[in-house]
Structure 1
């Protein structure tokens, strides 16, 4: 029996609506809506339990002190608790790889840095995380500078002395660092590359043991954060040569910056920031950023951070991290490849 003309009127529209293509499109829309709704629900209830921030260095030291101060303050600001968990090793890649695999629900964060976000992709042939794909940047938390220091027995008092001695004895001067591919390594490599110096690199498991060997006379030079170097400089056990930062430090007013000694193109101060697993809801990112803004607006916090030579970021939010990562990759990538620096 043939269908009546009236019955056939609606059939083309019905067929289009229930075609495989239409059903796929409707399913996709529904899935996106459900995902957005689910993320909104997660963000609305967050934090319903303690939040963990994984710090890729051992307890103690300026970076750990910064993370703990921020976690204590930011936890209260978001109406919850942020717990610091130290997970050191492999230039920060162990902590980064762990957080990258956690759910994107705001309960597992990474204390990121120049080393594990910008440098590791170039120094490790096989890295178990991708900084740009596996993470959602939250915000910078603080910046800091490093300073290159010499053992007084070397009689190196400034950058000119360093250049003269290094060129007179190629490969004889040595410098320590916190490890291959660490910023304390690459900063000196950047300087040496600019001046055409050949110096021997001595990697350590941290900046502290490198500084101890400098004081003991086992190595000639090392680069360290201001918090680790200034106490030794004040006691005359280390001689400051050049600051790896954008501006001179008030504690070392006579020490020139890397740009002032003629080495242009340095990407800027080292930074510490918060990273979250990719896909973390924007509302959670915004709340953590606002907590960081309040952190630096507190006068007591500023005094505390000044004691460990940490400075507030010029900008907060995800873009502040993304911009630094791009700039640093553009500088460190070619240098690492040209010098053959590998961490495998």
Structure 2
């Protein structure tokens, strides 16, 4: 009997710690499970980030058997939605589709930013990169970038450019372009790239730096005139449109990227599981083709590469903001 009791006691001593580790070991394996995943887009519905988020959410939901819901929380050039995610638990059920604006530009243009872009988030993966295209309303009567520069120089502070909001990539990209070209333009801020583009299409604003994906159809339809792309190479979607470097300004480059982040201090195993699900989806031939049709070069390179991109681009846009004379507001 004593031997049986000793055996039972030994079993309990060994088994209980093992049982206690089961939830922790399987927590990441359960993701996404039956609980909906909230994917926050910190910009307005209909913009480029919103389009990418919805395509990716649908594809990853099908791949994992989960349910990813896209929610737009626009305002303050992405600060409102980004700040919301920063305050959530790092349990994998609140994610952020961030951009170069939210995680590289914001520290240089936003005073009293309510979060730290590095310490406040867990990097998951880079989704893809895309250039902007400088578009104007055809009624402006210019056909080339040089035409536009001449016109803007002849009308200081009268020619206007739209942006997705003060501190957005389209704002800072426009300010960067103006500084390099020696222009003084009137900046018109909107609450998202969608509303900004609508007013350029309507002739209420003259020019905008917009991602290729959302300007492509209006350009093809003749409702917008594309003057130049901001990458170092021409976009395959607009092969006849020169780069800014070709057209006028050597060394000019302003690339946009989309990336996935989670709240800070996520368990590394869960971080890796979520990154794997998204990376595998991004690298699928069908998704790569879908993104490329919109001018986006797929990435899907994991947490470490994203962390390095944030570090490098934060330094780059800090220098650009200083050169363009854009101060934190």
Q: Secondary structure at the match of 2:200?
A: helix
Q: Secondary structure at the match of 1:259?
A: helix
1:235 is displaced (CA, Å) by 2.0
Q: TM-score, normalised by structure 1?
A: 0.81
Higher mean displacement: 98-107 or 288-297: 288-297
1:90 is displaced (CA, Å) by 1.4
Unpaired runs of 5+ residues, structure 1, are 1-35
Per-residue displacement from partner, 1:242-281 (whole Å, max 9, x unpaired)?
Answer: 1122431122112122333434253x52111110112112
1:340 is displaced (CA, Å) by 4.4
Counterpart contact for 1:191–1:263, Cα < 8 Å: no
Per-residue displacement from partner, 1:33-71 (whole Å, max 9, x unpaired)?
Answer: xxx998645324433433221111233343222212212
Q: TM-score, normalised by structure 2?
A: 0.84
**Which residue of structure 2 lines up, in the alignment, with residue 223 of structure 1?**
209
In 2 relative to 1, CA 245–37 (structure 1 residues): closer, same or farther, beyond 3 Å?
farther
In 2 relative to 1, CA 37–123 (structure 1 residues): closer, same or farther, beyond 3 Å?
farther
2:116 to 106, 126, 130: 130
**Which residue of structure 2 lines up, in the alignment, with residue 234 of structure 1?**
220
Q: Would you say 1:262 and 2:254 are equivalent positions? A: no
Q: CA RMSD in A?
A: 2.4
Counterpart contact for 1:265–1:331, Cα < 8 Å: no
1:104 is displaced (CA, Å) by 1.9
Distance 2:138 2:120 in 1: 45
Q: Secondary structure at the match of 2:114?
A: coil
Q: Would you say 1:47 and 2:32 are equivalent positions? A: yes
Distance 2:68 2:278 in 1: 13
Higher mean displacement: 276-285 or 291-300: 291-300
Q: Secondary structure at the match of 1:214?
A: helix
Distance 1:203 1:90 in 2: 10
Counterpart contact for 1:51–1:106, Cα < 8 Å: yes
Q: Secondary structure at the match of 1:241?
A: strand
Distance 2:320 2:22 in 1: 45
In 2 relative to 1, CA 205–50 (structure 1 residues): closer, same or farther, beyond 3 Å?
closer
Distance 1:138 1:95 in 2: 17
1:109 to 88, 95, 99: 95
Distance 2:195 2:87 in 1: 32
Distance 2:219 2:108 in 1: 33
Counterpart contact for 2:45–2:194, Cα < 8 Å: no
Q: Would you say 1:98 and 2:84 are equivalent positions? A: yes
**Which residue of structure 2 lines up, in the alignment, with residue 298 of structure 1?**
284
Higher mean displacement: 117-126 or 292-301: 292-301
**Which residue of structure 1 lines up, in the alignment, with residue 303 of structure 2?**
318
Distance 1:151 1:285 in 2: 44
**Which residue of structure 2 lines up, in the alignment, with residue 332 of structure 1?**
317
Per-residue displacement from partner, 1:149-180 (whole Å, max 9, x unpaired)?
Answer: 12223232212212222233322222111111
How many equivalent residue pairs?
A: 307
In 2 relative to 1, CA 177–81 (structure 1 residues): closer, same or farther, beyond 3 Å?
same
